[in-house]
Protein backbone atom coordinates (compact mmCIF):
# COMPACT_ATOMS: atom_id res chain seq x y z
CA UNK A 1 0.00 0.00 0.00
CA UNK A 2 2.76 2.48 0.87
CA UNK A 3 5.32 1.61 -1.78
CA UNK A 4 7.45 4.56 -2.82
CA UNK A 5 11.01 5.12 -3.94
CA UNK A 6 11.69 7.75 -1.29
CA UNK A 7 9.14 8.24 1.48
CA UNK A 8 9.66 11.24 3.73
CA UNK A 9 7.36 11.37 6.74
CA UNK A 10 7.08 11.92 10.47
CA UNK A 11 5.87 8.69 12.02
CA UNK A 12 4.89 10.21 15.39
CA UNK A 13 6.14 6.99 17.01
CA UNK A 14 8.68 8.79 19.17
CA UNK A 15 11.68 7.49 17.23
CA UNK A 16 12.46 10.91 15.70
CA UNK A 17 11.95 14.51 16.69
CA UNK A 18 9.43 16.65 14.85
CA UNK A 19 11.34 19.06 12.64
CA UNK A 20 12.60 19.62 9.14
CA UNK A 21 13.41 16.61 6.96
CA UNK A 22 15.72 16.86 3.97
CA UNK A 23 16.84 14.85 0.97
CA UNK A 24 19.71 15.98 -1.24
CA UNK A 25 21.31 14.17 -4.16
CA UNK A 26 23.89 15.26 -6.70
CA UNK A 27 24.67 13.01 -9.65
CA UNK A 28 24.03 9.29 -9.75
CA UNK A 29 20.80 7.44 -10.41
CA UNK A 30 17.61 7.22 -8.36
CA UNK A 31 15.03 4.70 -9.57
CA UNK A 32 11.89 3.24 -8.06
CA UNK A 33 10.37 -0.06 -9.13
CA UNK A 34 6.99 0.59 -7.49
CA UNK A 35 4.92 3.60 -6.53
CA UNK A 36 5.83 7.27 -6.61
CA UNK A 37 9.46 8.32 -6.81
CA UNK A 38 8.94 10.70 -3.84
CA UNK A 39 6.08 10.64 -1.33
CA UNK A 40 5.89 13.21 1.49
CA UNK A 41 3.32 13.10 4.28
CA UNK A 42 2.99 14.48 7.81
CA UNK A 43 6.21 16.52 7.71
CA UNK A 44 8.03 19.54 6.31
CA UNK A 45 10.95 18.81 4.03
CA UNK A 46 13.40 20.15 1.51
CA UNK A 47 14.48 18.18 -1.52
CA UNK A 48 17.46 19.18 -3.68
CA UNK A 49 18.22 17.35 -6.90
CA UNK A 50 21.16 18.22 -9.15
CA UNK A 51 22.15 16.18 -12.18
CA UNK A 52 20.45 12.98 -10.97
CA UNK A 53 19.17 10.43 -13.48
CA UNK A 54 15.65 9.58 -12.31
CA UNK A 55 13.63 6.45 -13.07
CA UNK A 56 9.90 6.39 -12.38
CA UNK A 57 7.85 3.24 -11.90
CA UNK A 58 4.38 4.71 -12.36
CA UNK A 59 4.95 8.14 -13.92
CA UNK A 60 4.57 9.97 -10.60
CA UNK A 61 7.53 12.13 -9.63
CA UNK A 62 6.16 13.47 -6.35
CA UNK A 63 3.07 13.12 -4.20
CA UNK A 64 2.61 15.51 -1.29
CA UNK A 65 -0.42 14.41 0.67
CA UNK A 66 -2.05 13.58 3.95
CA UNK A 67 -2.73 9.98 4.82
CA UNK A 68 -5.49 8.07 6.57
CA UNK A 69 -3.41 7.97 9.81
CA UNK A 70 -4.03 4.25 10.26
CA UNK A 71 -0.27 3.82 10.73
CA UNK A 72 -0.11 6.66 13.24
CA UNK A 73 1.34 9.24 10.84
CA UNK A 74 -0.36 12.27 12.36
CA UNK A 75 -4.04 13.10 12.52
CA UNK A 76 -6.10 12.46 9.40
CA UNK A 77 -7.16 15.74 7.81
CA UNK A 78 -4.21 17.70 9.20
CA UNK A 79 -1.23 15.50 8.34
CA UNK A 80 -0.31 16.79 4.92
CA UNK A 81 3.20 17.51 3.77
CA UNK A 82 5.11 20.70 3.04
CA UNK A 83 7.83 20.40 0.40
CA UNK A 84 10.42 22.83 -0.93
CA UNK A 85 11.87 21.13 -4.01
CA UNK A 86 14.80 22.67 -5.88
CA UNK A 87 15.89 21.18 -9.20
CA UNK A 88 19.32 22.51 -10.16
CA UNK A 89 20.53 21.56 -13.64
CA UNK A 90 18.16 18.62 -13.47
CA UNK A 91 16.04 16.63 -15.94
CA UNK A 92 12.66 15.90 -14.35
CA UNK A 93 9.71 13.99 -15.71
CA UNK A 94 6.40 12.96 -14.24
CA UNK A 95 3.29 14.04 -12.47
CA UNK A 96 3.33 16.02 -9.22
CA UNK A 97 0.25 16.09 -6.99
CA UNK A 98 -0.38 18.21 -3.91
CA UNK A 99 -3.55 17.53 -1.93
CA UNK A 100 -5.69 20.15 -0.19
CA UNK A 101 -3.83 19.93 3.15
CA UNK A 102 -0.34 20.06 1.64
CA UNK A 103 1.96 22.50 -0.10
CA UNK A 104 4.79 22.57 -2.63
CA UNK A 105 7.30 25.24 -3.54
CA UNK A 106 9.09 24.10 -6.71
CA UNK A 107 12.12 25.93 -8.10
CA UNK A 108 13.47 24.98 -11.52
CA UNK A 109 16.88 26.57 -12.06
CA UNK A 110 20.21 26.45 -13.91
CA UNK A 111 19.01 24.73 -17.07
CA UNK A 112 16.52 22.35 -15.49
CA UNK A 113 14.14 20.71 -17.96
CA UNK A 114 10.85 19.50 -16.46
CA UNK A 115 8.41 17.48 -18.56
CA UNK A 116 5.22 16.85 -16.65
CA UNK A 117 2.25 18.40 -14.94
CA UNK A 118 1.28 19.57 -11.47
CA UNK A 119 -2.15 18.85 -10.02
CA UNK A 120 -3.61 17.69 -13.34
CA UNK A 121 -6.93 16.84 -11.69
CA UNK A 122 -7.13 20.26 -10.01
CA UNK A 123 -5.97 19.08 -6.58
CA UNK A 124 -6.49 21.96 -4.18
CA UNK A 125 -3.14 22.15 -2.39
CA UNK A 126 -0.77 25.09 -2.46
CA UNK A 127 1.56 24.73 -5.45
CA UNK A 128 4.04 27.52 -6.20
CA UNK A 129 6.45 27.26 -9.14
CA UNK A 130 9.49 29.42 -9.92
CA UNK A 131 10.95 28.87 -13.38
CA UNK A 132 14.22 30.70 -14.03
CA UNK A 133 15.18 32.05 -17.46
CA UNK A 134 17.51 29.12 -18.24
CA UNK A 135 15.00 26.37 -17.48
CA UNK A 136 12.02 24.93 -19.36
CA UNK A 137 8.75 23.26 -18.47
CA UNK A 138 7.08 21.03 -21.06
CA UNK A 139 3.46 20.29 -20.13
CA UNK A 140 1.95 16.81 -20.32
CA UNK A 141 -1.42 17.88 -18.90
CA UNK A 142 -3.25 20.87 -17.50
CA UNK A 143 -1.66 22.25 -14.33
CA UNK A 144 -3.28 23.91 -11.33
CA UNK A 145 -1.04 26.23 -9.28
CA UNK A 146 -1.48 28.89 -6.63
CA UNK A 147 1.47 30.96 -7.87
CA UNK A 148 3.93 31.13 -10.76
CA UNK A 149 7.07 33.19 -11.08
CA UNK A 150 9.03 33.32 -14.32
CA UNK A 151 8.40 33.71 -18.00
CA UNK A 152 5.61 31.77 -19.65
CA UNK A 153 7.86 31.82 -22.76
CA UNK A 154 9.80 29.01 -21.03
CA UNK A 155 6.67 26.84 -20.89
CA UNK A 156 6.07 24.47 -23.83
CA UNK A 157 2.31 24.03 -23.63
CA UNK A 158 1.69 21.08 -25.99
CA UNK A 159 -1.93 22.29 -26.03
CA UNK A 160 -2.24 22.23 -22.22
CA UNK A 161 -2.82 25.12 -19.85
CA UNK A 162 -1.27 26.32 -16.61
CA UNK A 163 -3.88 27.82 -14.29
CA UNK A 164 -2.89 30.06 -11.39
CA UNK A 165 -5.77 30.44 -8.94
CA UNK A 166 -8.13 29.37 -11.71
CA UNK A 167 -6.83 31.82 -14.35
CA UNK A 168 -4.97 30.57 -17.43
CA UNK A 169 -1.50 32.11 -17.74
CA UNK A 170 -0.31 30.57 -21.03
- CA-based torsion, 161, 164, 168, 170: positive or negative: negative
pLDDT in tens, 27-52: 999 999 889 999 998 888 999 999 99
**Which has the closest alpha carbon to 53: 98, 93, 13, 80?**
93
pLDDT of residue 16: 53
Residue 48 CB neighbour total at 10 angstroms: 17
**DSSP of 25-93, one letter per residue?**
EESSEEE-SSSEEEEEESSEEEEEEES-EEE-SSSEEEEE-----TTSSS-TTS---EEEEEEES-EEE
3-state DSSP assignment of residue 5: strand
CA distance 43 to 128: 18
CA distance 63 to 44: 13
State the average pLDDT over residues 81-100. 96
pLDDT of residue 74: 60
Amino acid sequence: ENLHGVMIYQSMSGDAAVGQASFSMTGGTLTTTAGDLFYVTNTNCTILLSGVKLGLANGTLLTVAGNDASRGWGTAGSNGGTVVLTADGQVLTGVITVDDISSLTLTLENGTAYTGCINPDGQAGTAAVTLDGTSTWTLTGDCWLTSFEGSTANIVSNGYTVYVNGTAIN
